[in-house]
Amino acid sequence: MSPSEYTRIFITGATGYIGGTVLSALLSNPKTDTFEITALIRSAEKAPLFNSIGVKTVIGSNSDLDTLTSLASEADVVVATANADDLNAAKAILRGLKKQHEQTKKVPILIHTSGTGVLIDQAAGNFTADKIYSDLDIPKIEALPKTQPHREVDIAVVAADEEGYARTYIILPSTIYGIANTSLVSLGLQNPHSQQIPLLIKTGLARGQGGVVGKGLNVWPSIHIDDTATLYITVFDAATKGPDETGHGREGFYFGENGEYSVGELSQAIAKLLHELGRGKSAEATVFTDEELDKYFGGAWFGSNSRARAERARLIGWNPAHNVDSLYASLMSEVEAIVAKQTA
């Protein structure tokens, strides 16, 4: 194949939980032989292993804005998974895409990672919200204030599509769970653990007791890490087929969820597991104090509601395989892995 026949893909966050899983899925994509993938990574030591699986590397991070701009200017598709709140990094990538468009008249693709944290309220665990967001209801999403998590970056990404120099797709996973089991994990290149649930487990271990925010009445959606991978690939495949295959820009929001869970019930389940392992005083979760919320979570966001329906991706064939039962079934392995790491 000539260089012009390859799809040039630039990915950020490739050693992370989401990014590594998405990169592994791209490497196993039926069209992977037509991909030229470049990953921005921090560790030069990991470069040879990435190279061995056919991934080019550039050493740097999201704070290397000129590098982001340069790499984006040479990519047909940018997959950004590094930090949903890094506005400077997002703008650097957008500058690169705009530069490419101005020089070639091509319209490159950006698949950006946000999250359903953009929907959170101030419930502090004390109520279940009635408001549910569909990713097909654009006016409702656009009514979210800029002060919401991730929102300012999402607005900048959509604006690029509106200006016409990039086609943008924003993926908003919810609570991702499950220990990643990918080719990159087996090579020691990827973090296999999520953030939200492990944080709740680690906090329970640190205080010697599983905890809950307020009354635990708030709810969140969830998505298995493997279903997260298929969500990205479903959007990637549609986006690379052409501009009319699926919504982009204002209509390019893709929630990632397959069912909701009660955060209080999750907290109780973790408290019970910790107690069974002799790492919690009681099988009943106790309420976090304000001081604990600040110390361990940086506030009461774990008590928020985030209610979303992933309808847009399902319209283009995304079919998640794991439901909330899988979330609860995954908890013991998460707890055991964290305890093993802390006692190693």
pLDDT digits (tens, 9 = 90+) for 147-205: 999 999 999 999 999 999 999 999 999 999 999 999 999 999 999 999 999 999 999 99
pLDDT at residue 2, rounded to an integer? 61
Task: With CA atoms as reference, report the closest residue to 224 among 266, 177, 171, 261.
Answer: 177
Residue found under tokens 């984006």: 72
pLDDT at residue 344, rounded to an integer? 75
Residue found under tokens 């419930």: 123
What is the C-alpha to C-alpha distance for residues 291 and 115, in angstroms, rounded to an integer?
A: 26
Residue 250, pLDDT above cutoff 70: yes
- In the structure encoding, which two tokens stand for residue 45, read together? 């030591």
Contact 169, 281 (CB under 8 A): no
Does an H or E element contain 201, and which? helix 196-207
What is the C-alpha to C-alpha distance for residues 184 and 182, in angstroms, rounded to an integer?
A: 5
What is the C-alpha to C-alpha distance for residues 177 and 327, in angstroms, rounded to an integer?
A: 6
pLDDT at residue 36, rounded to an integer? 98
Mean residue pLDDT across the chain: 97
Query: Residue 25: phi, psi to the nearest 5?
Result: -65, -40
What is the C-alpha to C-alpha distance for residues 267 and 110, in angstroms, rounded to an integer?
A: 36
Q: 192 - beta bridge partners? A: none
pLDDT at residue 3, rounded to an integer? 65
Residue 253, pLDDT above cutoff 70: yes
Domain 7-121+132-193+223-257+307-320 -> CATH class:
alpha beta
pLDDT at residue 343, rounded to an integer? 87
What is the C-alpha to C-alpha distance for residues 49 and 52, in angstroms, rounded to an integer?
A: 5
